[in-house]
């Protein structure tokens, strides 16, 4: 065994990251974010729960979701599905 941590496919990494965002948003705000698709360059998400109709949902999408994704995947484009 080496000292290198295991590498996971990018798809699994993105699913895990969005899963963590969803858990946080759900627990603290009653909303949610769901990953619909990811092709390696573009991730499509849908906000749900309390985020639907909330005037702050653009902040959740672009601030939390998109901002966090760009920290780990700087070249990924985030698109929202309604």
Q: What is the CATH number of the domain that holds 58?
A: 3.30.300.130
From first to last of its 82 residues, the chain has per-residue pLDDT tens of 567 766 888 999 999 999 999 999 999 999 999 999 999 999 999 999 999 999 999 999 999 999 999 999 999 999 987 6
| Domain-located, residue 2 | no
Range of the domain at 18: 10-80
Encoding tokens for residue 18?
Answer: 């969005």
| Total domains in the fold of the chain | 1
| Domain-located, residue 24 | yes
| Domain-located, residue 74 | yes
Report the predicted TM-score, pTM, of the whole model to 2 decimal places. 0.86
| Domain-located, residue 5 | no
DSSP label at residue 66: I
| Domain-located, residue 1 | no
């Amino acid at each position: 065994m080496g000292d290198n941590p295991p590498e996971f496919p990018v798809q699994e990494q993105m699913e895990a990251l969005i899963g963590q965002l969803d858990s946080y948003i759900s627990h603290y705000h009653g909303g949610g974010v769901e990953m619909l698709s990811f092709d390696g360059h573009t991730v499509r998400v849908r906000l749900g729960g309390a985020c639907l109709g909330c005037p702050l949902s653009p902040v959740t999408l672009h601030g939390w979701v998109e901002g966090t994704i760009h920290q780990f995947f700087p070249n990924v484009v985030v698109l929202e599905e309604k």
